[in-house]
A and B are shown apart, each in its own frame.
Chain A
């Protein structure tokens, strides 16, 4: 179990499914379990591709 910050509120979440996650990583949480980590680089890439004119 770990503590996940949801933008100001924190909650205990099971991290057993993301054993490589470290403090500071962003995770997707579903029903009390982390189901994936978020790749910031990939996020930035999509956003830059969709810049408003």
Chain B
């Protein structure tokens, strides 16, 4: 048999059956192949539902690959809604010519990430497109999660005086992708932070009153805060934002802003002022780099960065992607 993906594999016939039984099933679990739709019994009465597509390039990067990213991205979105991730679907569009060994690698990463996150991949789909039309792999994951009674988090709960916390240092994923980009390539950067954050988020919900959670993926912290700042201003203390020295060095080298670089294993938590101490303590147990970076004030919906010189400047999301496709 060939060692690459061929158009026949996407044809719905025996070649596809072979791909499913010899490659996809063994990685994500045979259950996922069994029915057109999975029936889930433990989702509870309030369900969180999300989807994301992944077009990251290159497919593998320091710290992870598209398989890990696709699972973590959706798991983390569920966690940001205050949900316990329960089940994922995994839809793949494969490009003719993709080595099966690479496919196996990404599937194994996805499976490992799902196990780490305590979530099952219960259904999916596989298609193949002609060489030149697919850039290797495009992945889409959708996920459902169970939202416990009484949990109600989201931007509607933001209030003046709330404190902004981050769960760890920022920009690692963006920097990792940059480091393997042709032409920009540099060595020594820390690997991507891609990881599931659901367990930490869940613990946080139990320990403190949380108003809102967001994960700073594309566009980084700047994007997340700009989106959240509706009707209120968010003030960020530039000196308090944790950034790993090599991420900072990479951004200085390339003239980028670490606050606009993606993270795939971090989240922003906005909590009332009296919960900040306990919330931060919990986050720091998991990652000592977690930090309090700002607070909310009355205002007009802008995000201001306060620097060491006593000045403030507008923190904005980037116009487009300063990088190649990163998630």
B185 and A9 contacting across the interface, CB-CB below 8 Å: no
Any B CB within 8 A of the CB of A24: no
- Binding-face segment, B14-22, B244-252, B275-283: B244-252
Any B CB within 8 A of the CB of A48: no
B252 and A11 contacting across the interface, CB-CB below 8 Å: no
Any A CB within 8 A of the CB of B45: no
Given contacts A5-B188, A6-B252, A8-B188, 13 further A-B contacts (CB under 8 A): A6-B250, A6-B253, A7-B245, A7-B248, A8-B189, A8-B245, A9-B186, A9-B187, A9-B188, A9-B189, A9-B249, A10-B187, A11-B253
Q: Per DSSP, are chain B's interface residues mostly helix, strand or loop, or mixed?
A: helix
Residues of B within 8 A of A (CB): 179, 185-189, 245-246, 248-250, 252-253
- Give the size category of A's interface with B: under 10
Tell me how far the C-beta of A49 lies from the nearest C-beta in chain B, rounded to whole angstroms: 20
Given the complex, which residues of A lie within 8 Å of B186, measured CB to CB?
A: 6, 9-11
Q: List 17 A-B contacts (CB under 8 A).
A: A6-B186, A6-B249, A6-B253, A7-B246, A7-B248, A7-B249, A8-B188, A8-B245, A8-B246, A8-B249, A9-B179, A9-B186, A9-B249, A9-B253, A10-B188, A11-B186, A29-B253
Q: Which of A1-53 contact B (CB under 8 A)?
A: 5-11, 29
B187 and A11 contacting across the interface, CB-CB below 8 Å: yes
Q: A6-B250, A6-B252 are known contacts. Are A11 and B245 too (CB-CB below 8 A)?
A: no
A11's nearest neighbour on chain B, judged by CB, is B186
Q: Give complex CA distance A6, B242 in Å.
A: 19
Q: Give complex CA distance A50, B248 in Å.
A: 26
Q: Give complex CA distance A29, B186 in Å.
A: 14
Given the complex, which residues of B lie within 8 Å of A7, measured CB to CB?
A: 245-246, 248-249, 252
Tell me how far the C-beta of B255 lies from the nearest C-beta in chain A, rounded to whole angstroms: 11
B244's nearest neighbour on chain A, judged by CB, is A8
Tell me how far the C-beta of A29 lies from the nearest C-beta in chain B, rounded to whole angstroms: 8
Given the complex, which residues of A lie within 8 Å of B249, measured CB to CB?
A: 6-9
Given the complex, which residues of B lie within 8 Å of A8, measured CB to CB?
A: 188-189, 245-246, 249
Given the complex, which residues of A lie within 8 Å of B185, measured CB to CB?
A: 11
B183's nearest neighbour on chain A, judged by CB, is A32
Q: Give complex CA distance A7, B244 in Å.
A: 11
Tell me how far the C-beta of A34 lies from the nearest C-beta in chain B, rounded to whole angstroms: 13
Given the complex, which residues of B lie within 8 Å of A6, measured CB to CB?
A: 186, 249-250, 252-253
Given the complex, which residues of B lie within 8 Å of A11, measured CB to CB?
A: 185-187, 253
Q: Give complex CA distance A5, B189 in Å.
A: 11
Tell me how far the C-beta of A3 lies from the nearest C-beta in chain B, rounded to whole angstroms: 8
Tell me how far the C-beta of B295 lies from the nearest C-beta in chain A, rounded to whole angstroms: 29
Q: Give complex CA distance A51, B25 in Å.
A: 67
B190's nearest neighbour on chain A, judged by CB, is A8
Given the complex, which residues of A lie within 8 Å of B187, measured CB to CB?
A: 9-11
Tell me how far the C-beta of B215 lies from the nearest C-beta in chain A, rounded to whole angstroms: 25
Tell me how far the C-beta of A30 lies from the nearest C-beta in chain B, rounded to whole angstroms: 11
Tell me how far the C-beta of B247 lies from the nearest C-beta in chain A, rounded to whole angstroms: 9
Given the complex, which residues of A lie within 8 Å of B252, measured CB to CB?
A: 6-7
Given the complex, which residues of B lie within 8 Å of A29, measured CB to CB?
A: 253
